[in-house]
Chains A and B, each alone.
Chain A
């Protein structure tokens, strides 16, 4: 690996000082003169026709701005992929908390009361709340058959493998909804001006998604919509598409009021009304030889998309492509579908379908091991993909990844074998049962297949009058390190100090569309574009004669200053070009699904207390190959944070549903791990490089979400000898299984 000056170093976070001093400005820290507060009247039923909307006559409604679907200038939808999600319910509702009416007032307390003073009469219709109910199609709530999308991946001759199998292993695995629980709730401020159009400021990941949605909704041309990202207090995918909805609401109110409008959700509204991770059901049927080799199999992968399509097709895509895990499948058929239920639409959450299908795959590997009589280690070794093998989409593994070696290293770091042997003895007595579990997985970075080509991301860089360089990207910082890493790449490419590179606040009036900040694409794809764009600046300066070769940073600054004072502007843009030789067949879901995969093996150690059936994760090793570690501290932080969320996904975070509505929409009752609940999370990296990523980097933001849940549940099986195939796995569930095994009154 080349030694670099800035890449590979843990430089200070670009916006770090502001964050630690409390100076960072989040949307709720901002006010505008004359600003009103906005709020949303939402449906209280899961499905029905709206018969009548009444306003309590005790209220002075003349003081309020009221917006309904009829006030929408353009199309009443939140434009994303399909156009099926209304901005405001028009005549019917399809999920609890569906936005129906908007109100604005100067006094936020009065506003809250006014929301409760609007009553909506419905003609309820039968609603459905589960994948199974949706599949029966006894109620059609979306399209012709409740199905948003299907995929079929087909490789080899699956139907021939059953007769050759020594074992056929069949099981079903389910995962529940998970709330992103960013500590900063959703919020927006919108302002409208007849000349300038609509401007929104907010907590968001994708300024251009919001931009596109507002154009269609407000019937405005692109120069009349401006979207500005404020410091964003966590996102994890939960602010990928939902901000378009809240921005739309704020914009409509602002347009009607002719005053700025701020909408900030409180925690309960945010939890009950916005997106969550798609619940999933995966069915595996696998033909295995007596040596443990997978001969082939069928996977049926189904996700619950909630009431409208939104991002479900893309979540399904990623989950489907990852469903086979890091293993070689000579024959496979994967049937995948996303179905509709009457819940608020589910959306993006770190991992985006892969944590769901990989949970199933990694639980299934341990099951196969048990059936065949091999250890969880051996079964994986026998089946790992090797360089030259093809994946389930028939993508050839072109890099020299050695998963067996990665596994070995993870086992060594976690003292897996010694612990397994020790626990087997110690578990014979005492109330604490310990176990260790493995998960091996991969995560494709960037948009799937032709997605990056379709995005056609553009990055800009400008020289500034003071000689520094400023990056112009729509890629947003929300804690994962976008600003820092992109500035590192630029500084490295130009041979400048890190301090000489700035990054503009993402503002659609100032920056080009570098694509959404999702899919672990920022360092890898946008980073590469940043590199090209800054080299463009360098070329321009060199060509103008202002810049010698080689040059010092002081000379660069001087050249830049001089060029700008003479010519007024120094800018360079770079646009994404698909690398040659990368083919993706969208119809047959075949080919190079992702430009790069990161690979990982995670090992979890758990202790189960039979008195309470509570699980403590005692130790966690997260080992991954990531191409290149651009910033060690940031990279470690991403992995540790993702592991914490993955442990939450497995053991703590349960959405309690009733008739499509989340019942535990408070931090008291939706449980995420505190500092007292997590083990030391020990993070290790390997670096194989990546020809498609800036300085060899692969995306890592979502990778750590895939492994912890199966590793933990595998460890619980090791500890208790009981298989659990469903998460979240609560002590109550463990108790139910344990008490079936022992005597009914719970006494050991």
Chain B
């Protein structure tokens, strides 16, 4: 253990308004800590720069999953276990439930929170591609009130985000508008459990009836959202690929183009876990696998 606990302050006011006041009065001075599965690893490694922490673990305002007819609202303090075990998330937002399952083991799932995953902003974070694919919206709170922002674009660069120093993420909102969508996710890690991802994909899509060359109708790609993690400083929507495939029928040629476009839109790196070349190629392969399975899902629905 490479840090001295005597040098750190940790307080737990226990109420969201007190915490928000603290963050407003002393911006940038207090690091919020939820389940600690990221912060405490840095602490143990002697790499936690912040010396003053404020606990946001188990705040009632940050827990709970509200179900409305058009959206679900997930408290940022919900753990991966909460996500896994929630019937509606498991049914309608499978990618998030799956991401929760493959984050760490059970013990870490019981403590890691969705809000923490967002704010820790690792490019390899497991749940973020799912949030991109589901076009989540975040409700941010501070003493100044709350604001609702799309998750797409929330992360602006490596570990940088659209979050003011006095703000906390309170809620993650997912619109329940995915009926008829096919969901696809895959994590490529160094092993089947407890692995930081080398890359991961979360994608949703619909097959629709559309017009193709020659005026015929055929199955074409309708709305499609493809998100990748670990291939850029932030999780990424492959908007180029999405534009390319929308309205097209899925042919081997389209798959090849989509793969190439995917590889062109990402910036993977060589690091201790993997290589840029590998990540690039596998990203292309996963996009192909998604579109392939999307195609099959559309055919099967007839």
Contact = CB atoms under 8 A, between A and B. Distances in A.
Contacts of A664: 272
B275 A109 contact: no
B194 interface: yes
A732 B278 contact: yes
Nearest to B191: A677
Contact of A611 (B4, B45, B193, B282): B282
Contacts of A616: 192
Given A669-B273, A731-B278, A745-B263, A612 B255 contact: no
A735 interface: yes
Interface string B184-209: 00001011111110000000000000
B1 A746 contact: no
B284 A112 contact: no
A614 B187 CA distance: 12
Contacts of A676: 191-193
A578 interface: no
B217 interface: no
Nearest to A610: B285
A747 B286 CA distance: 10
Given A674-B194, A745-B260, A746-B284, A663 B2 contact: no
B278 A109 contact: no
Interface string B254-268: 011001100100000
Given A112-B46, A745-B284, A746-B285, A656 B191 contact: no
A735 B281 contact: yes
A668 B188 CA distance: 15
B272 A611 contact: no
Contacts of A735: 277-278, 281-282
A669 B284 CA distance: 25
B68 interface: no
A201 interface: no
B281 A745 contact: yes
Given A109-B3, A109-B4, A112-B2, A746 B259 contact: yes
B274 interface: yes
B6 interface: yes
B64 to A, nearest CB: 31
A747 B284 contact: yes
Given A112-B2, A676-B192, A745-B284, A732 B275 contact: yes
B5 interface: yes
A671 B190 contact: yes
A349 interface: no
Nearest to B287: A747
Interface in B270-299: 272-275, 277-278, 280-282, 284-286, 288-289
Nearest to A658: B272
B2 A674 contact: no
Contacts of A731: 188, 278
A218 B45 CA distance: 34
A663 B188 CA distance: 21
Contacts of B288: 747-748
Contact of A674 (B45, B191, B280): B191
Interface in B1-17: 1-6
A266 B190 contact: no
A675 interface: yes
A612 to B, nearest CB: 5
Contact of A675 (B193, B263, B277, B280): B193
Contacts of A612: 188, 282, 285-286
Given A745-B281, A746-B284, A614 B256 contact: no
B278 to A, nearest CB: 4
Given A611-B285, A732-B278, A735-B278, A109 B272 contact: no
Contacts of B280: 746
B193 A674 contact: yes
Nearest to B102: A676
A677 B195 CA distance: 11
Contacts of A677: 191-193
B231 to A, nearest CB: 14
Contacts of A110: 4
Contacts of B259: 745-747
A652 B190 contact: yes
B196 A668 contact: yes
A269 B77 CA distance: 34
A673 interface: yes
Contacts of B3: 109
A113 interface: yes
| Residue of B2, B45, B281 with most partner-chain A CB within 10 A | B281
Interface string A100-114: 000000001110110
A112 B3 CA distance: 8
Interface in A668-711: 668-669, 671, 673-677
Interface string A161-175: 000000000000000
A739 interface: yes
A722 to B, nearest CB: 16
A610 B4 CA distance: 47
Contacts of B260: 745
Contacts of B194: 674
Interface in A425-470: 431
Interface in A605-622: 610-614, 616
Contacts of A613: 278, 282
Contacts of A666: 45
A745 B259 CA distance: 8
Contacts of B281: 735, 739, 745-746
B182 to A, nearest CB: 17
A527 B4 CA distance: 48
Contacts of A610: 285
A619 to B, nearest CB: 16
Contacts of A732: 274-275, 277-278
Contacts of B273: 669
Q: Which of B5, B277, B278 has the largest count of A CB atoms less than 10 A from its CB?
A: B278
Nearest to A667: B194
Contact of A671 (B1, B45, B195, B256): B195
B204 to A, nearest CB: 19
Interface string A77-114: 00000000000000000000000000000001110110
A663 B281 CA distance: 25
A748 B256 CA distance: 9
Contacts of A266: 1-2
B191 A671 contact: yes
Nearest to A733: B278
Given A109-B4, A112-B46, A746 B282 contact: yes
Nearest to A651: B191
Contacts of B2: 112, 266
Contacts of A113: 4
A673 B191 contact: yes
Interface in A719-735: 731-732, 735
A731 to B, nearest CB: 7
B164 to A, nearest CB: 31
B188 A614 contact: yes
Contacts of A669: 196, 272-273
Interface string B229-247: 0000000000000000000
A735 B281 CA distance: 9
Nearest to B284: A746
B130 to A, nearest CB: 19
Contact of A109 (B5, B196, B263, B282): B5
Contacts of B191: 652, 671, 673-674, 676-677
Contacts of B46: 112
A113 B4 CA distance: 9
Given A612-B188, A735-B282, 14 more contacts: A109-B3, A109-B4, A109-B5, A112-B46, A266-B1, A669-B196, A669-B272, A671-B190, A671-B191, A735-B277, A736-B278, A746-B259, A746-B284, A748-B285
7 contacts: A108-B1, A109-B4, A113-B4, A674-B191, A674-B194, A745-B263, A747-B288
Nearest 3 A/B pairs, CB to CB:
A746-B281, A109-B4, A676-B193
